[in-house]
Amino acid sequence: MSQYCSSRSLPVLSPCIGQCQLDAAARCTGCFRDLSQITTWTQLTAREQRQVIALCDQRRSQTTKC
């Protein structure tokens, strides 16, 4: 039986980029997580972490539109 490594089984890296600063909505201007998502990151399942990253990607794309 062949073994393979699924991306779903790999640990999810924190989206933190070290530019931690909260805006008026209590969202980090670096990674776009809200305060709750930042403080609970290590307790989230990998699936929940991927959902947070997808949400952050949406927030980032909305913020960078001119």
| pLDDT digits 0-9 by tens, 7-34 | 566 789 999 999 999 999 999 999 999 9
CA-atom Rg of the chain in angstroms = 14
Position 57 pLDDT exceeds 80: yes
**To which residue do tokens 């931690």 refer?**
20
Closest CA to 32 of 52, 46, 50, 49: 52
What pLDDT sits at residue 1? 41
pTM above 0.75, yes or no: yes
